[in-house]
């Protein structure tokens, strides 16, 4: 049984009239529907009303769009739910070799805190990306990577349980990949075929199958996380409590939280164990690369031309959903064949209605109170297989 | 009007001016989809192409165009080929081997330099060229006292950029390592592949033999040196991952023989092997025909073919189809498969040379040591 809309509905977004699609873009994608999650139910219309309704109130099926958005969005684990709206979230492109984060944060007296767990052993080393910011701001690294190592050392039971969860996740990913390879191959072949009378329906069905598989995988992943949380209750463990309290205090004193890129799996795992999604609620956040990926609804791994394997984009995990309707794609220019219209089209359609947004150097996207208020050099993959300006 | 390659082939008479214009307006050798035209200009009695492609004559004469000093030779060569060659120029009864004066592409090896032939479709891989954005690793050296060789062996070690003692690294030991640095751009390749996340940051020990034709030819002293002297010394010096899957041996030609032999003599220590153009001489019956230096090699390979066991887990083999060793390398693949080893085998239109081995490094290293490409977004 599907938790989202029917497969036909999921794929049918492409059939919507132009004006509806435009609204879909403006409302559901650019407005971070964090308010939808925060308030639940129909109060999720707030950003829509603010931004768009005066313009197109009578011509669109707002309710249908909102319902579809909620239905297709991955659900969150209980621990990951964030109740208050996010005040201010910024996504940046990669920060090396030309960092821009110092322009976003600027000088000031209040410290900013940093999550650099994705750098693993290099955690907290302010080279390259943060050198310039470090000159004008105090940067306090939250040391999530090392804290978890300390926690595991003092709580072997939790460590064993964590290892077991990782093994399960790995196996789930392997099984998902097995099915994904076939589903993607079929979809690619259909999209590469010449137009024919029956082809459109088959393409929609293949896309629906892909989406169903992605959803199935996310459901499985979510259950693994939920089972872990319910059984081991990390938030209540003596080994974690003092760290969580210390982190809360540091974050409270900081004017912003920076989330750097790196290993997205490590970043997710360490942030999740320490309850960071809850601690980040309502904070100003600036995230780049893997940091931005972790804040989306689902984490999509991608590389069109790896030296080994087929390069099938795959869903890894649920993200923390602080920003919705966006699939961040760091280094898309280097990792994706953006000149291959069929691959781009397949990518964009598969993750629709979310916007697939390349995060290249110099890109900036900023949401305030759930509404996209600023974008620089931002583009998106579109259904017909090209890359367009975000506002196009 | 500039003379065309087609006119050249038809034997159209050429003036000195025609030749000047022709040379000025083309790159040499002249590459077309179906083959290559070699061109030499100069006074000579005879000019020969010396090209190392197994199956073609080692020496092919260029033809003088009329009474001019222009010499040409067309050779069928499939697309995506790469090979190395020289001209043998005979003047007044004396012959000299020279690189092609019209071809700027030159490859070097321990014996000197050769001209490089790149047929239609071949492009030098971008990851073999320096990338200004790639952080550079460093070279260190370690002195390894060897009881087996009764000497101290200095080994160069590649240490990746952003090396941290807290982290543990895979280890690759490379035979003829300094030659790989010099002739196959190994350091650039490692920097680039690590930067691209295609392989993990790794420690790479670059060994150089005393007498490689002896030590690499199935010599138990060398196998023992790697497994019981060099490896422990490296483990003392560097934070290394302690599992066979994170330890590899690599070598080309005799270096490939040494890699396979060391793994066979000391099984399950090195779980990853990269064997390029291995000199795996063997004889199913009678004696091999490769000369006495191959005697110990054939002895080892014959023994290995009889009882290979499963000394390692994963191997990458490659060989150029223009090499005489293609038969020996092909013969090894099913044997390794049959004995439960994971094998990836690649054949390319290239010869027994360093640039061939350079061009295989990405496929080999990423298969043996896959990097965090899929998970890291910096």
pLDDT, residue A194, reads 75
A213 phi and psi, to 5 degrees?
-65, -45
Residues of A in contact with B373 (CB under 8 A): 303, 306-307
Handedness of CA B236, B240, B243, B244 (dihedral sign): negative
A139 neighbors A126 (Cβ within 8 angstroms): yes
Q: Averaged over A360-388, what is the pLDDT?
A: 94
B178 neighbors B345 (Cβ within 8 angstroms): no
- What share of chain A has pLDDT > 70, as a percent? 78
Q: What is the CATH number of the domain that holds B288?
A: 3.40.50.1820
pLDDT, residue B7, reads 67
pLDDT, residue A196, reads 74
CA distance B146 to B5: 60
pLDDT, residue B11, reads 65
Looking at the structure, tell me whether residues B132 and B114 fall in a common domain.
no
Q: Which of B118, B141, B168 is the last residue of a domain?
A: B118
CA distance B183 to B180: 5
Residues of B in contact with A303 (CB under 8 A): 373-374
User: Per the domain annotation, does A52 fall within a domain?
Assistant: no
pLDDT in tens, B47-62: 999 998 998 999 999 9
CA distance A320 to A197: 42
Among A99, A117, A121, A304, pick the best mutation site for testing chain B contact (most B Cβ within 10 A).
Answer: A121
pLDDT, residue A96, reads 86
**Smallest Cα distance from B77 to chain A, Å:** 27
User: Per the domain annotation, does B68 fall within a domain?
Assistant: yes
What ipTM, to 2 d.p.? 0.83
User: Per the domain annotation, does B378 fall within a domain?
Assistant: no
Nearest alpha-carbon partner for B37 in B28, B24, B45: B28
pLDDT-derived band at A71, boundaries 50, 70, 90: very low
SS3 assignment, position A263: strand
Q: Is A94 part of the contact surface with chain B (CB cutoff 8 Å)? A: yes
Looking at the structure, tell me whether residues B208 and B272 fall in a common domain.
yes
Domain of B149 in residue numbering reads as 126-368
Instruction: For chain B, give percent helix, strand, coil, nearest 5.
Output: 30, 30, 40
pLDDT, residue A351, reads 97
Position A39 pLDDT exceeds 70: no
| Domain count of the fold of chain B | 2
Distances (CA, A) of A25 to A314, A338, A385, B16, B283: 23, 21, 16, 69, 70
User: Per the domain annotation, does B77 fall within a domain?
Assistant: yes
Please answer yes or no on whether B164 and A306 come within 8 Å at the CB atom: no
B256 neighbors B276 (Cβ within 8 angstroms): yes
User: Per the domain annotation, does B377 fall within a domain?
Assistant: no
pLDDT in tens, A347-360: 999 999 999 999 99
Domain of A165 in residue numbering reads as 78-389
A212 neighbors A220 (Cβ within 8 angstroms): no
* Three-state secondary structure of B101-150: CCCCCEEEECCEEEEEEECCCCCCCHHHCCCCCCCCCEEEEEEEEECCCC
**Smallest Cα distance from A123 to chain B, Å:** 11
Residues whose CB falls within 8 Å of the CB of residue A170, separated by 6 or more in sequence, listed in order = none
**Smallest Cα distance from A68 to chain B, Å:** 30
Q: Is A262 part of the contact surface with chain B (CB cutoff 8 Å)? A: yes
User: Per the domain annotation, does A359 fall within a domain?
Assistant: yes
Position A275 pLDDT exceeds 60: yes
pLDDT-derived band at A26, boundaries 50, 70, 90: very low
Looking at the structure, tell me whether residues B186 and B302 fall in a common domain.
yes
DSSP secondary structure letters along B183-229: HS-HHHHHHHHHHTTSS---EEEE---SSHHHHTTT-HHHHHIIIII
Least confident of A193-197, A236-240, A246-250, B272-276: A193-197
Looking at the structure, tell me whether residues B87 and B110 fall in a common domain.
yes
pLDDT-derived band at A240, boundaries 50, 70, 90: very high
**Smallest Cα distance from B306 to chain A, Å:** 32
User: Per the domain annotation, does A70 fall within a domain?
Assistant: no
Position A218 pLDDT exceeds 90: yes
pLDDT, residue A385, reads 95
Looking at the structure, tell me whether residues B104 and B140 fall in a common domain.
no
**Smallest Cα distance from B178 to chain A, Å:** 25
- Name the residue with tokens 């197109």: A56
> Within 13 Å of residue A176, how many CA atoms lie on the same side as its CB?
24
DSSP A141: E
In chain B, which residue's Cα lies nearest the Cα of A294? B377
Q: Give me chain A's average pLDDT, please.
A: 81
Position A67 pLDDT exceeds 90: no
Q: Which of B93, B118, B143 is the last residue of a domain?
A: B118
Low-confidence stretches of chain B (pLDDT < 70) are 1-11
Residues of A in contact with B372 (CB under 8 A): 263
pLDDT, residue A370, reads 80
Handedness of CA A24, A26, A29, A33 (dihedral sign): negative
pLDDT-derived band at A87, boundaries 50, 70, 90: confident
Q: Cβ–Cβ contacts within 10 Å for residue A125, how many? A: 13
Crossing angle of the two packed helices A341-350 and A156-192, in degrees rounded to 10? 130
Among A95, A294, A300, A308, pick the best mutation site for testing chain B contact (most B Cβ within 10 A).
Answer: A308
pLDDT, residue A191, reads 87
Position A310 pLDDT exceeds 50: yes
pLDDT in tens, A124-136: 987 777 888 888 8
Identity of the residue in B162, B373, B378 whose CB atom sits nearest the CB atom of A306: B373
Q: Cβ–Cβ contacts within 10 Å for residue B285, how many? A: 4
Opening angle at CA A321, ends A315 and A326, nearest 5? 65
pLDDT, residue B248, reads 98
Nearest alpha-carbon partner for A289 in A9, A106, A44, A99: A99
Handedness of CA A105, A111, A117, A123 (dihedral sign): positive
Looking at the structure, tell me whether residues B195 and B292 fall in a common domain.
yes
| Domain count of the fold of chain A | 1
User: Per the domain annotation, does A327 fall within a domain?
Assistant: yes
Position A169 pLDDT exceeds 80: yes
CA distance B248 to B258: 13
CA distance A108 to A110: 6
Residues of B in contact with A290 (CB under 8 A): 376-378
Looking at the structure, tell me whether residues B106 and B185 fall in a common domain.
no
Nearest alpha-carbon partner for A40 in A87, A84, A5: A84
pLDDT, residue B9, reads 61
Q: Which of B118, B147, B182 is the last residue of a domain?
A: B118
Q: Is A361 part of the contact surface with chain B (CB cutoff 8 Å)? A: no
A/B interface, count of CB pairs below 8 Å: 51
User: Per the domain annotation, does A158 fall within a domain?
Assistant: yes
Nearest alpha-carbon partner for A269 in A169, A122, A177: A169
Please answer yes or no on whether A307 and B363 come within 8 Å at the CB atom: yes
Looking at the structure, tell me whether residues B174 and B149 fall in a common domain.
yes
DSSP secondary structure letters along A187-231: HHHHHHSPP-TTHHHHHHHHHHHHHHHHHHHHHHHHHHHHHHHHH
pLDDT, residue A392, reads 53
Q: What is the CATH number of the domain that holds A256?
A: 3.40.50.880
pLDDT, residue A343, reads 93
Q: What is the CATH number of the domain that holds B57?
A: 2.60.40.10
Looking at the structure, tell me whether residues B84 and B18 fall in a common domain.
yes
């Amino acid at each position: 049984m599907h938790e989202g809309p029917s497969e036909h509905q999921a794929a049918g977004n492409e059939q919507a009239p132009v004006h509806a699609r435009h609204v879909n873009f403006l409302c559901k994608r650019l407005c971070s529907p964090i308010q939808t999650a925060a308030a639940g139910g129909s109060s999720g219309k707030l950003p829509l009303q603010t931004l768009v309704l005066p313009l197109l109130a009578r011509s669109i099926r707002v309710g249908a769009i909102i319902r579809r958005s909620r239905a297709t969005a991955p659900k969150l684990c209980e621990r990951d739910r964030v109740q208050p709206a996010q005040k201010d979230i910024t996504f940046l492109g990669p920060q090396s070799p030309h960092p821009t984060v110092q322009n976003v944060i600027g000088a000031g007296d209040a410290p900013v805190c940093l999550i650099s767990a994705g750098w693993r052993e290099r955690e907290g080393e302010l080279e390259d990306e943060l050198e310039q910011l470090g000159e004008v701001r105090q940067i306090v690294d939250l040391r999530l990577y090392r804290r978890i190592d300390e926690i595991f050392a003092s709580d072997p039971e939790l460590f064993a349980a964590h290892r077991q969860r990782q093994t399960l996740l790995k196996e789930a990913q392997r099984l998902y990949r097995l099915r994904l390879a076939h589903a993607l191959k079929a979809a690619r072949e259909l999209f590469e075929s010449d137009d024919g009378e029956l082809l459109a329906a088959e393409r929609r069905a293949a896309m629906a199958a892909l989406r169903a598989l992605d959803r199935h995988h996310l459901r499985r992943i979510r259950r693994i996380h939920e089972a872990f949380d319910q059984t081991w209750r990390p938030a209540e463990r003596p080994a974690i409590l003092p760290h969580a309290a210390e982190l809360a205090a540091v974050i409270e004193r900081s004017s912003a939280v920076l989330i750097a890129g790196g290993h997205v799996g490590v970043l997710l795992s360490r942030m999740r164990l320490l309850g960071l999604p809850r601690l980040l609620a309502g904070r100003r956040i600036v995230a780049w690369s893997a940091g931005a990926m972790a804040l989306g609804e689902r984490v999509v791994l991608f590389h069109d031309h790896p030296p080994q394997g087929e390069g099938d984009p795959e869903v890894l995990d649920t993200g923390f959903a602080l920003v919705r309707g966006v699939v961040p794609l760091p280094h898309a220019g280097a990792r994706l064949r953006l000149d291959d219209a069929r691959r781009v089209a397949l990518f964009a359609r598969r993750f629709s209605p979310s916007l697939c947004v390349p995060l290249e150097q110099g890109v900036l996207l900023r949401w305030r109170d759930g509404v996209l208020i600023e974008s620089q050099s931002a583009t998106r993959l579109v259904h017909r297989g090209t890359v367009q300006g975000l506002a196009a | 009007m500039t003379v065309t390659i087609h006119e050249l082939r038809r034997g159209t008479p050429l003036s000195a001016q025609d030749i000047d214009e022709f040379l000025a307006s083309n790159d040499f050798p002249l590459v077309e989809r179906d083959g290559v035209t070699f061109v030499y200009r100069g006074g000579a009695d005879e000019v020969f192409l010396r090209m190392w492609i197994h199956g073609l004559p080692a020496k092919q004469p260029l033809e003088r165009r009329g009474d001019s000093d222009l010499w040409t030779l067309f050779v069928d060569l499939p697309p995506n080929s790469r090979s190395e060659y020289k001209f043998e120029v005979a003047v007044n009864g004396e012959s000299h081997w020279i690189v092609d004066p019209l071809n700027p592409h030159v490859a070097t090896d321990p014996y000197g330099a050769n001209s490089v032939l790149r047929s239609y479709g071949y492009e030098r891989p971008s990851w073999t060229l320096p990338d200004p954005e790639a952080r550079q690793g460093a070279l260190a050296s370690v002195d390894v006292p060897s009881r087996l060789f009764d000497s101290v062996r200095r080994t160069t070690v590649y240490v990746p950029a952003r090396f941290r003692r807290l982290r543990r690294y895979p280890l690759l030991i490379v035979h003829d390592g300094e030659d790989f640095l010099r002739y196959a751009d190994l350091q650039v390749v490692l920097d680039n592949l690590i930067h691209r996340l295609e392989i993990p940051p790794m420690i790479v020990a670059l060994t150089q033999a005393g007498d490689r034709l002896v030590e690499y030819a199935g010599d138990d002293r060398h196998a023992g040196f790697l497994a019981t002297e060099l490896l422990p010394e490296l483990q003392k010096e560097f934070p290394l991952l302690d599992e066979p899957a994170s330890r590899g041996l690599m070598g080309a030609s005799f270096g490939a023989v040494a890699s396979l032999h060391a793994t066979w003599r000391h099984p399950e220590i090195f779980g990853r092997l990269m064997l390029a153009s291995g000199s795996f001489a063997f004889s199913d019956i009678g004696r091999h025909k490769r000369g006495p230096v191959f005697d110990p090699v054939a002895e080892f390979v014959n023994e290995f073919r009889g009882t290979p066991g499963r000394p390692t887990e994963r191997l990458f083999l490659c060989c150029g189809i223009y090499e005489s060793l293609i038969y020996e390398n092909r013969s090894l693949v099913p044997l390794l498969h049959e004995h439960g080893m994971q094998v990836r085998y690649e054949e390319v239109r290239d010869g027994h040379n360093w640039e061939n081995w350079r061009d295989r490094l990405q496929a080999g290293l990423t298969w043996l040591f896959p990097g965090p490409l899929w998970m890291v977004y910096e």
